[in-house]
Structure 1
């Protein structure tokens, strides 16, 4: 009986404390927010939340460049001496055939992709790096470049697999305008694309081009996250301000991310854009077949077509993503 009364008294004490806790939160919301941000659940979730928000912000900024990049990669497919479009000519063509807003085709898919892919990519990378740092501190050493690279590769590969359906929908939506009017799918949104592709081609079709997507993400992450982390580490003791260090490190990361990942991005675009012919055949049988076929029919340099556009797409995206993630990490630390 005494045990029951003590439990009741304890409950009464907690209830009596509730109004004062609410009053304290109302009087000092900043403190209440800080306490919430430091709960174990939020500490584990914040790298993923901040990563997703950073990626979506960056995508909203660079979506027109991504649209142009995809159109450049699909131009002259199958012919070595085909058309040689430029970013300017592609932009003019898109605007002339519709509206300026056509450059934002697939934005809903791009945002969904970032909500899934970048959330997972930066979240996993941050989680891996914290584990590596803790392990290094226990051994009184520092996290090395190869460990950073390994964390980037693993985070990119895992995130790319999860985000492939949204990535495929983005490519389908952006390439739809290249087809004859009668053959266009005219997707209204990423949800419409996901539903129709899975219904007409099967759920597995949403993971078409998954292998090069994963390899591309690993290559991109190796260039972006590993070199960003390494550059920041090298610039730490320089006279540059923290903001300048972040900008410089992101520009370096953007270049290496572009260089390592463009050939895989090119093949990924070709594989995700392809649809079955009336006889059920596909232009490419897989990643290696696509590499071989493009190299033979269009030349090796075709893999690096639009490198400037790709860099202008990757570098600002990397810079905006990393800067926003860095800032969000700072305000939520």
Structure 2
């Protein structure tokens, strides 16, 4: 008798659980119909989306920022390539370079290479901000488990690691951007006149080999590590220090972005300079290259053009990096807020 009662109780309990599950499913369906935003939020909180959002938000933020500052980046590249191999000679300024570009074509020439810039952000910034957030979350959890708080050392390590990994992945798009922006400096008969970033990538791969797409990878990685160390580590540190001040959240983000932009510019400009020179160079008829590698480029520029040449265009670079950092970090912060 007791066995029969136990079976009945078990069957009743199973029916109750099934009924509860069906009711819960119905409630979710009804909620989705009545409140699509709630259903959307449920999707955003799935494990897959929680892991993917830092990458998605980072890429979107970087692409917005690149669209804003592309003309400044174009001028910065032209400044770095001017007077190559000579210590003396004309000293271009951002204004003279802008005038020269406009005199040769149209205002939209300042947006040459935008497609490559957007592809680079879709790959590079997606990866660097995504990896940085992922590393920071992991380090924060580990610190809390030990009863500690995350410090500047952890932020620096996360920034350096994220920057290096992302730069290696995004080097082909970065190379295409430099080639597209420097193409106008060549005599008309020697220009490639790339139609798009895809055209540039396929043309380089066909004429120079697939391996050429990673030309300048070493300084690109080091530059990215230096830039991310200055940008992400100092942004995170500055925000933490400004947290308890009377400044509004928006003012804190703007101030932290400006601080991060300065340190990112200071640490990364010499490597950015060398990266530009290496990615622009092409083989001479005899098969030789102006520079054998990163250290050879540093050595020849220091010897032939002077040490200060590495910081030529610092103001332009800062005006390019700081707004880009500010727009990227502000948009990423906003996207993070609305998808949290």
Same fold (TM over 0.5): yes
For residues 331 and 193 of structure 1, what CA distance do their matches in structure 2 show? 37
Which residue pairs with 2:135 in the alignment?
Answer: 128
Which residue pairs with 1:74 in the alignment?
Answer: 81
Equivalent in 141, 156, 161 of residue 154 of structure 1 = 161
2:105 aligned with 1:98: yes
2:227 aligned with 1:220: yes
For residues 271 and 89 of structure 2, what CA distance do their matches in structure 1 show? 21
- Give the drift of 1:24: 2.9
Which residue pairs with 2:207 in the alignment?
Answer: 200
Larger Rg: 2
Which residue pairs with 1:245 in the alignment?
Answer: 252
**1:84/1:11 CA distance change after superposition, 3 Å:** farther
Which residue pairs with 2:121 in the alignment?
Answer: 114
- Give the drift of 1:23: 4.5
- Give the drift of 1:26: 2.6
- Give the drift of 1:21: 4.6
Which residue pairs with 1:144 in the alignment?
Answer: 151
Q: Structure 1, unaligned stretches of length 5 or more?
A: 1-9
For residues 248 and 298 of structure 2, what CA distance do their matches in structure 1 show? 43
1:161-240 superposed matches below 5 A: 161-240=168-247
Q: Structure 2, unaligned stretches of length 5 or more?
A: 1-16
For residues 322 and 51 of structure 2, what CA distance do their matches in structure 1 show? 28
**1:20/1:102 CA distance change after superposition, 3 Å:** same
TM-score (norm 1): 0.94
Which residue pairs with 1:26 in the alignment?
Answer: 33
For residues 259 and 323 of structure 2, what CA distance do their matches in structure 1 show? 11
1:203-236 deviation per Cα after TM superposition (whole angstroms, max 9, x unaligned):
0000000000000000000000000000001101
Which residue pairs with 1:285 in the alignment?
Answer: 292
Runs of 4+ in 1 over 2 A off after TM superposition: 10-24
Secondary structure, counterpart of 1:295 in structure 2 = helix
For residues 131 and 115 of structure 2, what CA distance do their matches in structure 1 show? 24
Q: CA RMSD in A?
A: 1.7
- Give the drift of 1:11: 11
1:113-168 deviation per Cα after TM superposition (whole angstroms, max 9, x unaligned):
00000000000000000001001111111111011001000000000000000000
**1:139/1:14 CA distance change after superposition, 3 Å:** closer
Aligned length: 324
Equivalent in 317, 320, 339 of residue 313 of structure 1 = 320
- Give the drift of 1:275: 0.5
For residues 95 and 33 of structure 2, what CA distance do their matches in structure 1 show? 55
2:333 aligned with 1:332: no
